[in-house]
């Protein structure tokens, strides 16, 4: 039985594609918890997937030069949040760094969540979840949520015209327009910056 479950697991994982990070809860439709655990164990031993930490697995990306590429902390955090039925939002400092608005690399990997506050060790990395209000989770897990978090980090003085123009040039139009839905949820001081980001660039 566990052999057939392992085959079903591998088929579904491969269909999800390289870089997929997941917990057993997401594949329980393929068998009982015991059968799924045995199937995942078989796939790990066969080198077809990787166990990142207790209850978290990955079908890692592969690079022709360096081999397997470890999944991003964001992918791991989102998998852990999904297991709780919760959201995960990248921290303000990490968002600003990701978008190239600061060069400061955060010392800790922190995510905001509406789930249980906790810390998880993933290899040599510690991922910390902090409880946050619904407004702080606006756009959680999306590119526009990352933009809002980055602007929060910069604050009213830092989220200036220059930053808005940089983000407008960086983001595709679809993502810029998706910011509109978050306008009622962001601080008043941030809205002019977001309107500038959303604006269609003028043609010279």
Q: Which of 138, 141, 197 is nearest to 168 (CA)?
A: 197
Tens digit of each residue's pLDDT (9 = 90 or more) over 130-148:
999 988 999 998 999 999 9
Hey, what domains does the chain have and what are their CATH numbers?
2-69 (1.10.10), 73-198 (no CATH)
Q: Are strands 67-69 and 109-113 parallel, antiparallel or unpaired?
A: unpaired
- Cα–Cα dist 83/166, whole Å: 36
Q: By the 8 A CB rule, do 111 and 130 touch?
A: yes
Per the prediction, the chain carries an average pLDDT of 90
Sign of the alpha-carbon dihedral angle for 100, 104, 110, 113: negative
Give residue 145's pLDDT. 93
Q: What is the pLDDT of residues 163-199, one digit of tens each?
A: 999 999 999 999 999 999 999 999 999 999 999 999 8
């Amino acid at each position: 039985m566990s052999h057939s479950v392992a085959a079903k697991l591998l088929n579904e994982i491969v269909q999800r594609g390289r870089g997929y990070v997941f917990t057993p809860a997401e594949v329980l439709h393929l068998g009982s918890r015991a059968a799924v655990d045995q199937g995942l164990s078989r796939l790990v031993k066969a080198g077809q997937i990787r166990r990142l930490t207790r209850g978290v697995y990955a079908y890692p990306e592969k690079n022709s030069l360096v081999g397997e590429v470890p999944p991003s902390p964001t992918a791991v955090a989102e998998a852990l949040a999904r297991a709780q039925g919760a959201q995960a939002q990248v921290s303000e400092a990490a968002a600003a760094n990701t978008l190239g608005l600061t060069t400061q690399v955060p010392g800790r990997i922190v995510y905001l969540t509406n789930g249980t506050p906790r810390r998880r060790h993933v290899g040599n990395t510690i991922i910390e979840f902090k409880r946050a209000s619904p407004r702080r989770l606006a756009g959680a897990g999306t590119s526009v949520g990352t933009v809002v978090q980055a602007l929060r980090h910069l604050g009213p003085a830092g989220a200036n015209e220059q930053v808005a123009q940089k983000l407008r040039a960086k983001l595709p139009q679809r993502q810029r327009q998706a910011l509109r839905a978050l306008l009622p949820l962001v601080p008043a001081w941030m809205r002019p910056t977001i309107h500038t980001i959303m604006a269609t660039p003028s043609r010279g």
